[in-house]
Structure 1
Amino acid sequence: MVRVLSPLFAVATAALAGLFSASAASTTKLYGVDYNIRSGPDWAPDATKCKSADVIAAELAKLKQITDIVRLYSMTDCDQAAVVLPLAIKAGLKVSLGIWVGPENQTFDADKARLEELMVQDGLITTENVEAIYVGSEAMYRGDVNATVAIENIKAVKSLCTSKSLDIPITLADTTEAIIKNPSTIAAVDFVSPNVFPFWDRITPDKAPAQLYGKLEKLMKLTKGKEIVIGETGWATDGVDARSSKATIANAQTYFEGFLKLAQEKNLKYYYFAGFDESWKLATLSADNVEAHFGIFDKDGNLKQPYHSLQPLLDADASSSSASQVGDVGSDSDSGSADAGDDEDSSSSSPAGSSTVSTTISMDAIIASADSTSKGAGAMEVKVPGSASAATVAVQSPSASASDDDDDDDDDSEATGSTEDLASKTAASAVATASNKRKDCHA
């Protein structure tokens, strides 16, 4: 016996499959991204050690498409705060400044002095432009300072900000383990910022997000409600290190998508490491070291495969730029703008930044999870679980239903064929509807 699905059900499942495929790439911006303007090793002259202003401007324009905040690591290295801040302001980015803390006090003193110099420049360091100031990055983990020195450094920067009437949050970034071992630092900071890399714990990427959150839960017991913002997390796409998990494109994608799902569910704030691959690190490390391959973009500014779910943001930005040159084209664009505003309001309530990640789903799951509401004899509204996208599917039912009898195989084949054609066309229409809605959201 040949059993044929009803035409209405076949059309609905085909449309659902199309909508799931279309929504898989939908995303909103990342909360923040770690960024470095170094292009060469310590011993290189500034001309090759530091990226040019043109390169930095181009990279910040790329980053603006996927985030609204970038985090720096030093004030004096390549004079990056003075170089990046004006360009970031122009690009519409906020900056979390970094003061580097090393084993010698001179490093901290020099960075703090540069911070103070920039504070007197009108409009440069303000609460509108600067998200936070990080006093050190893994300095306790490296053993460069102990908790006492770390706290003294934080107090010194807080005092400086107070003297300039700047209410900017101050923190330090360190490993979860280092912060837990030095709980006195928690009281000294305005928010807690652990660097959490399951990648360095030799774990499979599918289990990594849960492991990361387990570490955060241990930290939460000590923070007692103080805000936590992940300072760094990420997964290398290439290279070899006996201490790390496997650095592959597939593993990086699995972790990225799993982490974004976790960030959305738990309402996490974070800085993803890092904006761009750092091939210059290979000059100071082994030629196959993983440290050079954590970028969301490669060194030439191309979006890397594991992060393809961010592509709609790049496409939307390009479309928005083109549209701004052309101008308004009528009432349809006005309507689209209103829809976009509504969607932006709903997504902005989640600081995690990413609302949808790539999903692999079986037809059984589509059937089981579909929220379908009959719209009458000739239509069905198809909604994608976890998405704002929906499409009303118009259905033209065949005049005769398919037979279940083996003797009617020819009729069954004909009926199935016509239904498949209708389903294909309807699914394409539904996907186009959802795709257009997404573009409006990100314009």
Structure 2
Amino acid sequence: MSFRSEKVLSLVGEDFQQKTADDLARMFKVLLDGGIHGLCFSAYLEGQAPGSILSEQQIRERIAIIKPFIQWVRTFSCSDGSELIPAIAKENGLKTMVGAWLSDDKEKNEEEINNLIQVVKSGNADLVAVGNEVLYREELTEEELLGYISRVKKLAPEAQVGYVDAYYEFVNRPALANACDVIFANCYPFWEGCHIDYSHVYMQNMYYQALGAGKGKRVIISETGWPNIGTAFEASVPNTENALRYFINTQKWSREEGIEVMYFSSFDESWKVGVEGDVGAFWGLWDKNGKLKY
């Protein structure tokens, strides 16, 4: 095979035409057992949702499930018990991308930022994410978000600070890309209605747009994934075969090209049905009870 054809294959991804369901499951297990870069982590148990208080015990139990397979864990919040996750992850030899959840609740934002600073000062944050899709949700203005980012950088000058949002936000907002030490780009072909056959090259294009916006800065895919159950979104169809194909292509590319990916997600979360519809509950590699799905 020539270099040119190898490069084309890398862009298109694995040839799945002759692969059975068992083949896909075996490929998934080989990649997972070999270790993946990182996972977006949730410790919520069935019946819990944002606002529920997480116990140290449930965090430890959930970390223990994913620990053998990952190097990094990404958190979303620094309140209601989530601020305990980074220290527990560190105890288990994992690196941490620690997030503060920002919204239009300014009082809650203060709690999140203050706890985030404490996590950094305790030495438990390798990367810091100030906010997650708060611009996409239109809960803060860009100016307000930049203020929070600047504040964290001043209070924790040792931290590598960024913000998490869809890749195009960094393309469309140069001041935001400039304010970040690291670009945290969410890349979801599924939510842009992409057919699974084209999803791999589509996701790569998202990544390279963020890379261009960062002008040489480190870019991490902070979220990407594919659900296995639920209602189709345009040409994006959630089923087991497509979820496995997407995982396999993403992880092989991550490994071969050294792309840092925080795969979404660790566990299925029933509460997300209220936010994303039926598909929202089925993004995990493990089900809601902590059992590996594939």
2:283 maps to 294
Residue 87 of structure 1 and its aligned partner are, at CA, apart by 2.1
Equivalent residue number for residue 52 of structure 1:
55
Distance 2:119 2:214 in 1: 32
Structure 2 residue runs without a partner (length 5+): 1-22
Q: Report the AA paired with residue 294 of structure 1.
A: W
Aligned to 2:102: 101
Aligned partner of 1:26 in structure 2 is 30
Kindly report which structure 2 residues correspond to 1:141-152, keeping only aligned pairs within 5 A, or say none: 141-152=136-147
Whole-angstrom CA distance in 1 between matches of 2:226 and 2:232: 13
Question: Contact (CA 8 Å) 2:102, 2:130: kept in 1 or not?
Answer: yes
* Structure 1: 5+ residue stretches without partners: 1-19, 44-48, 306-443
Whether contact under 8 Å (1:241, 1:289) holds in the other structure is no
Q: Partner amino acid for 1:296?
A: L
Measure how far apart 1:97 and its partner are: 1.1
Number of positions where the alignment pairs a residue of Structure 1 with one of Structure 2: 266
Instruction: Report if aligned partners of 2:227, 2:239 keep a CA contact under 8 Å in 1.
Output: yes
Deviation at 1:195, TM superposition (A): 0.3
Aligned residue among 198, 204, 210 for 1:213: 204
Cα distance between partner residues in 2 of 1:245 and 1:274: 18
Distance 2:54 2:116 in 1: 21
* Alpha-carbon distance between aligned partners in 2 of 1:119 and 1:196, rounded to the nearest angstrom: 26
Residue 162 of structure 2 aligns to a residue whose secondary structure is strand
Larger Rg: 1
CA–CA separation in structure 2 for the residues paired with 1:160 and 1:80:
21
| TM-score, scaled relative to structure 1 | 0.56
CA distance in 1, matches of 2:215, 2:49: 41
Q: Could you tell me how far 1:262 is from its partner in structure 2?
A: 2.1
Counterpart residue type for residue 149 of structure 1: E
Query: What amino acid maps onto 1:224 in structure 2?
Result: K
- Answer yes or no: is the 8 Å Cα contact 2:54–2:81 preserved in 1: no
* Matching residue's letter, 2:215: K
Greater shift after overlay, 139-148 or 49-58? 49-58
Q: 1:117-150: per-residue Cα shift (whole Å, max 9, x none)?
A: 4566xxxx21xx3221100111111112232222
CA distance in 1, matches of 2:120, 2:202: 40
| Deviation for aligned residue 1:241 | 5.1
Q: Deviations over 1:305-345 (max 9, x none)?
A: 1xxxxxxxxxxxxxxxxxxxxxxxxxxxxxxxxxxxxxxxx
1:176-232 CA deviation, whole Å, 9 max, x = no partner? Answer: 122211121111111111100011122222311100111222233322211110110
Q: SS of the counterpart of 2:36?
A: coil
Q: Check if 1:197 corresponds to 2:188.
A: yes
Of 207, 214, 229, the match for 1:238: 229
Corresponding letter in the other structure for 2:103: G
SS in 2 for 1:152: helix
- Cα 1:201/1:113, change in 2 over 3 Å: same
* Identity %, equivalent residues: 25
Partner of 1:145: helix, strand, or coil?
coil
Do structure 1's residue 268 and structure 2's residue 259 form an aligned pair?
A: yes
Residue 221 of structure 2: SS of its match in structure 1?
Answer: strand
1:39-438 equivalence runs, <5 A: 39=45, 40-42=48-50, 49-76=52-79, 78-81=80-83, 83-118=84-119, 125-126=122-123, 129-162=124-157, 167-240=158-231, 242=233, 245-282=236-273, 284-285=274-275, 289-305=278-294
Secondary structure of the corresponding residue to residue 140 of structure 1:
coil
Letter in 1 for 2:97: S
1:38 aligns to what?
44
Instruction: Using the TM superposition, give the Cα deviation of residue 247 of structure 1 relative to its aligned residue in structure 2, in angstroms.
Output: 0.9
User: SS at the partner of 1:207?
Assistant: helix
SS at match of 2:207: helix
* Cα pair 2:167 2:186 within 8 Å, conserved: yes
2: CA distance, partners of 1:60 / 1:96: 14
Once residues 110 and 146 of structure 1 are traced to their aligned partners in structure 2, the CA distance between those partners, rounded to angstroms, is 19
